[in-house]
């Protein structure tokens, strides 16, 4: 299976990454996925490199970089992991609030591409 997501401009790319990031953090917060699982989705140096190359906002990249530290926090200060996840989620939510929302002339077919 090959599923591709696409956006037509930088603002939409930032929104898509933030929505995905908030979802991963919410799942982490609720214990639905593990920190290892979150690393499979977004919290990796590879993700950071690709998102940097695509021009994702540096503030979003910074949140993801801090998410890469969750495994270290879990091993060194396990009682602080929940607090850090909440902090990252709050930062992502605030960033999403500050991003200009979708325009009425939305050109992408709901981000899903068919091929």
Give the global pTM.
Answer: 0.87
Count structural domains, the chain. 1
Decide if 111 is inside a domain: no
Residue pLDDT, tens place only, 36-75: 999 999 999 999 999 999 999 999 999 999 999 999 999 9
State residue 93's pLDDT score. Answer: 96
- State what percent of residues in the chain have pLDDT above 90: 73
User: CB neighbours of 77 closer than 8 A, spacing ≥ 6?
Assistant: none
Decide if 30 is inside a domain: yes
Decide if 62 is inside a domain: yes
Decide if 115 is inside a domain: no
DSSP string, 53-80: HTT--HHHHHHHHHHTTHHHHHHH-GGG
Decide if 70 is inside a domain: yes
Decide if 107 is inside a domain: no
| Residue ranges making up the domain that contains 44 | 8-100
Q: How far apart are CA 5 and CA 28, in angstroms?
A: 23
Decide if 93 is inside a domain: yes
């Amino acid at each position: 299976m090959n599923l591709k997501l696409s956006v037509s401009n930088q603002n939409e790319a930032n929104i898509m990454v933030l929505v995905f990031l908030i979802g991963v953090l919410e799942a982490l917060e609720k214990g639905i996925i593990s920190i290892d699982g979150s690393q499979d989705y977004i919290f990796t140096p590879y993700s950071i490199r690709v998102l940097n190359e695509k021009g994702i906002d540096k503030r979003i990249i910074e949140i993801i970089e801090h998410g890469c530290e969750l495994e270290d926090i879990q091993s060194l200060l396990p009682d602080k992991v929940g607090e850090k996840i909440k902090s990252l989620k709050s930062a992502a939510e605030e960033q999403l609030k500050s991003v200009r929302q979708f325009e009425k002339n939305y050109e992408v077919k709901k981000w899903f591409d068919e091929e």
